[in-house]
């Protein structure tokens, strides 16, 4: 079941992302060569029939120009559009090329994948909220080890960790990951309104073989719980969505500044392990993981890094500002270099994921 969930989760996230590019390209009148789910050798290909009218108004069906493909490796996908890289295909009418379309159409086509990933996450989070009792605030302390922290009280709210404001569980989890086994200062607000700063000392948790599993901090969290209803579910969906966005922003920031190691990142192998853990906790955990991965994929693709959607959008913004397109050869070279670097990074991340299994 873990393998099935793994394929379904990655497949759904990629399908939704690429469908965003695809539908905006089609609506803009761009010729699409292929819509592919997966990478590598092609396993299956088909063409759908589309309804067209002739000059006399008679309806008939003809084969759509797009090849719909399923490929061997469920780790990505793509939409191949005519003129995407600035090339000229003499077999395609000029008005069907991407570069011939208005600026806003090209820009929306580039960012549509991110938009669809974010929309998927919001829908999933709403479903989770409407089906469960939900917590809109997960920074309230519970199950405190009074021997370690005698001044802490049940119901204390975490305000900051080493001066960084904590609004939600996602940001707290990231800050705890950054600190690792180091002591840190945590500012809390008691139910009475009094504010106090406490030094927290993490304790290592290891398995029978001595492998590090994580850390204990001497407390747990207990948020403000609400019964599932429409308004609370909407509030939960948007609140959780923006907390995930915040977590991703600071994760990237900490990676750039060196506070987080690249070794902390996970690729397909690492995601497979997480899927296994989530599947054992029930279907709602699977939906939550799917929402998180969808947000991650959307956010990463929004970054202005070569080969990402965000970089394509950045070049379009530069074009708009300077009043003329960026040199196509320069842009293609930058994207190709970025793609090579991404493949190298993926190999490195996968290598670390495999090491963690043993």
Q: What is the pLDDT of residues 260-313, one digit of tens each?
A: 888 777 777 677 777 877 777 888 889 999 999 999 999 999 999 988 999 999
Segments forming the whole domain that contains residue 63: 2-130+296-357
Same domain, 142 and 200: yes
**Once rounded to an integer, what is the mean pLDDT over residues 146-157?**
90
Of the residues 223, 239, 258, the one at which a domain ends: 223
Taking only Cα atoms into account, the Rg of the chain, rounded to an integer number of angstroms, comes to: 24
Residue 340 lies in a domain: yes
Residue percentage of the chain with pLDDT more than 70: 95
Same domain, 125 and 141: no
pLDDT at 273: 74
Same domain, 72 and 103: yes
CATH number at residue 208: 2.30.42.10
Same domain, 51 and 101: yes
Same domain, 319 and 334: yes
Residue 286 lies in a domain: no
Token pair belonging to 69 = 């493909």
pLDDT at 226: 60
Give the chain's mean pLDDT. Answer: 87
Our count of domains for the chain comes to 2
This prediction's pTM: 0.85
**Would you tell me the crossing angle of helices 268-279 and 283-302 to the nearest 10 degrees?**
150
Same domain, 141 and 126: no
Note whether 33 and 81 are within 8 A (CB).
Answer: yes
pLDDT at 224: 56
CA atoms within 13 A on the CB side of 78: 14
Residue 157: pLDDT over 80: yes
Residue 170 lies in a domain: yes
Segment 31-84, tens digit of pLDDT: 999 999 888 899 988 888 777 776 777 777 778 889 999 998 877 788 999 988
Same domain, 10 and 121: yes
Same domain, 330 and 300: yes
Same domain, 146 and 120: no
pLDDT at 137: 61
| Nearest by Cα to 21 from 107, 110, 95 | 110
Q: Rounded to an integer, what distance in angstroms lies between the CA atom of residue 301 and that of residue 78?
A: 13
């Amino acid at each position: 079941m873990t393998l099935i969930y793994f394929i379904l989760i990655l497949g759904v996230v990629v399908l939704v992302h690429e469908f965003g590019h695809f539908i905006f390209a089609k609506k803009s009148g761009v010729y699409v060569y292929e819509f592919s789910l997966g990478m590598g050798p092609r396993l299956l290909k088909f063409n759908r029939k589309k309804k067209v009218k002739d000059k006399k108004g008679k309806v008939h069906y003809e084969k759509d120009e797009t090849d719909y493909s399923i490929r061997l490796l469920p780790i990505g996908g793509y939409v191949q559009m005519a003129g995407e890289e600035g090339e000229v295909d003499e077999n395609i009418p000029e008005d069907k090329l991407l570069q011939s379309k208005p600026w806003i159409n090209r820009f929306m086509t580039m960012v549509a994948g991110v938009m669809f990933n974010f929309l998927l996450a919001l829908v999933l989070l709403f479903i989770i909220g409407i089906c469960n009792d939900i917590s809109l605030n997960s920074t309230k302390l519970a199950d405190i080890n009074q021997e370690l922290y005698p001044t802490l009280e049940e119901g204390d709210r975490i305000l900051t960790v080493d001066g960084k404001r904590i609004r939600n569980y996602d940001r707290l989890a990231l800050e705890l990951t950054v600190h690792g086994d180091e002591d840190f200062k945590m500012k809390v607000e008691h139910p009475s309104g009094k504010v106090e700063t406490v030094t927290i000392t993490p304790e290592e948790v290891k398995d029978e073989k001595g492998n590090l599993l994580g850390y204990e901090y001497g407390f747990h969290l207990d948020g403000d719980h609400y019964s599932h209803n429409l308004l609370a579910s909407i509030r939960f969906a948007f609140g959780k969505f923006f907390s995930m966005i915040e977590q991703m922003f600071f994760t990237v920031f900490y990676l750039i500044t060196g506070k987080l190691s690249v070794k902390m990142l996970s690729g397909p192998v690492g995601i497979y392990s997480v899927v296994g853990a989530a599947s054992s906790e029930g279907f709602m955990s699977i939906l939550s993981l799917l929402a998180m991965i969808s947000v991650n994929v959307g956010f990463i693709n929004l970054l202005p890094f070569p080969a990402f959607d965000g970089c394509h959008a950045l070049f379009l913004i530069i074009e708009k500002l300077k009043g003329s397109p960026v040199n196509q050869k320069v842009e293609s070279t930058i994207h190709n270099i970025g793609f090579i670097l991404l493949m190298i990074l993926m190999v490195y991340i996968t290598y670390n994921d495999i090491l963690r299994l043993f």
